[in-house]
Amino acid sequence: MSDCQKAKNRTLKVRQLQQSLYHKSKQEEEVIFYSLYDKVYREDVLWEAWRQVKANKGAPGIDGKTIKDAIAKGEKEMIMKLQKQLQEKTYKFSPVRLVEIPKASGGGTRPLGIAMVTS
């Protein structure tokens, strides 16, 4: 299977997960999701999130590290480390860089938190 095919399958599975959670929440408004943790650390979910981060080509976080820095350090190792931390519930959120961006309506600005790419 080509990398492109794997990416499409991964994206499709993540999208199906998102849709099933969305439909469940809309069909049964009293439903409470006690834990989504096991879904967040799924390897396909983490890879899809990383794919979207790279596609966004965003600015570096408070540590100054770029997406290119994370790629150079090793994407697979980064994802596996993050997955392990999430599974073991040892992941610690890092501070975010706060920037003010113009509002779409043209009236003022709004805060945007830019997370660090690597942990």
**Could you please report the per-residue DSSP string of 13-54?**
HHHHHHHHHHHHHHH-TT------HHHHT-HHHHHHHHHHHH
| Chain mean pLDDT for the chain | 85
Dist. CA 84–CA 97, nearest whole Å: 25
Q: Could you read off the pLDDT of 28-64 as tens digits, one per residue?
A: 878 787 778 788 888 999 998 898 889 988 788 899 9
For 36, the token pair is 């989504």
Look at the block and give the residue holding tokens 């396909």. Answer: 44
Parallel, antiparallel, or unpaired: how do β-strands 97-102 and 109-114 relate?
Answer: antiparallel
pLDDT at 7: 52
> Domain count of the chain?
1
Which residues constitute the domain of residue 94? 3-114
Look at the block and give the residue holding tokens 């790629």. Answer: 71
Q: Is residue 119 a part of any domain in this protein?
A: no
Q: Is residue 73 a part of any domain in this protein?
A: yes
Residue 105: half-sphere exposure toward Cβ, Cα within 13 Å: 4
Q: Is residue 70 a part of any domain in this protein?
A: yes
Dist. CA 115–CA 60, nearest whole Å: 8
Q: Could you read off the pLDDT of 108-118 as tens digits, one per residue?
A: 999 999 888 87
Quote the Cα angle for 92-82-61, to 5°.
65
Q: 0.75 cut: is pTM over it? A: no
pLDDT at 56: 86
